[in-house]
Amino acid sequence: MKNRGIAWMLAMVCLLSLLAGCGGENLTTQPETEGVKLWHAYNTENLMRDVQYPEKMESRDHTLRLYGIRGDVESVQLMITPEADVESYDFTMDELVSEDGKTFSAEQFEVLSQWYVNVEASYNTQAYYGYYPDALVPLQAVKRQRLNSIAAGENQGLWINASIPEDTAPGFYTGTAKLELDDGEYDIPVELTVYDALMPEQVHPRSCFLIWYDYMAKAEGTGAGAIAQAYFDVLVENRCMPMYPEPAIYGDYEAFVQWALEKVVNNPKISTYALPYSYELDENEHRILSREKTMQILTVLAQKNVALRQSGDETTNLFEKAYFYLGAIIDEPTGEALERVKICDLIVSECKFAVADAYLKDYPDLYNALAGLPHVVTTAYNEDLLGSDTTGGVQAWCPQFQHWHTQAQRDNYYARQNTTDRLMGEEAWWYGCNNPPAPYPTYHLDDDLIGSRVLSWMQYDYGSEGNLYWCVNVNSETMWETADDIGGAVCEGTLLYPAAKFGLQEPCTTLRLQSIREGQEDYEYLWMVEQAIIGYNEKEGTNHDPKALMAPLYEGLYDGMIPERDNAETFQERRLTLLEVLQQILSDPAAGIDKLQSMQS
Please state, in angstroms and rounded to a whole number, the distance separating the CA atoms of residues 534 and 544. 8
Which pLDDT score is estimated for 381? 98
Residue 514 CA to residue 136 CA, distance in Å, equals 9
Amino acid at 29: T
pLDDT tens track for 134-193: 999 999 999 999 999 999 999 999 999 999 999 999 999 999 999 999 999 999 999 999
For residue 189, CA distances in Å to 109, 293, 385 come to: 14, 59, 58
Q: Do 422 and 395 touch, CB atoms closer than 8 A? A: yes
10 Å Cβ neighbour count for 259? Answer: 18
Model confidence band, residue 26 (pLDDT cutoffs 50, 70, 90): very low
Q: How far apart are CA 323 and CA 466, in angstroms?
A: 11
pLDDT over threshold 70, residue 19 = no
Where residue 32 falls among pLDDT bands split at 50, 70, 90?
low
pLDDT of 228 > 80? The answer is: yes
Per-residue pLDDT of 331-348, as tens digits, reads: 999 999 999 999 999 999
On whether the 2-198 domain is CATH 2.60.40.10, my answer is yes
Orientation angle between helical segments 337-359 and 291-310, nearest 10 degrees: 30
Kindly tell me the sign of the dihedral angle through the C-alpha atoms of 61, 62, 63, 65.
positive
Give the mean model confidence (pLDDT) for residues 190-204.
98
Q: Is the pLDDT of residue 13 over 60?
A: no
What digits encode the pLDDT tens for the residues 91-136?
999 999 999 999 999 999 999 999 999 998 887 777 888 999 999 9
- How far is Cα 377 from Cα 392, in angstroms, rounded to an integer? 12
Mean pLDDT of 396-400: 98
The answer on pLDDT for 31 being more than 80 is no
Q: Which amino acid is at 68?
A: G
> Residue 5: pLDDT above 60?
no
Instruction: Check pLDDT > 90 for residue 433.
Output: yes
Parse the chain into domains and list their residue ranges.
2-198, 207-506, 532-598
Residue 526's pLDDT band (cuts 50, 70, 90): very high
The string of pLDDT tens digits covering residues 563-589 is 999 899 999 999 999 999 999 999 999
Average of per-residue pLDDT values in the chain: 93
- Quick one: average pLDDT of 260-283? 97
Residue 487: the pLDDT is 82
* CATH code that applies to domain 207-506: 3.20.20
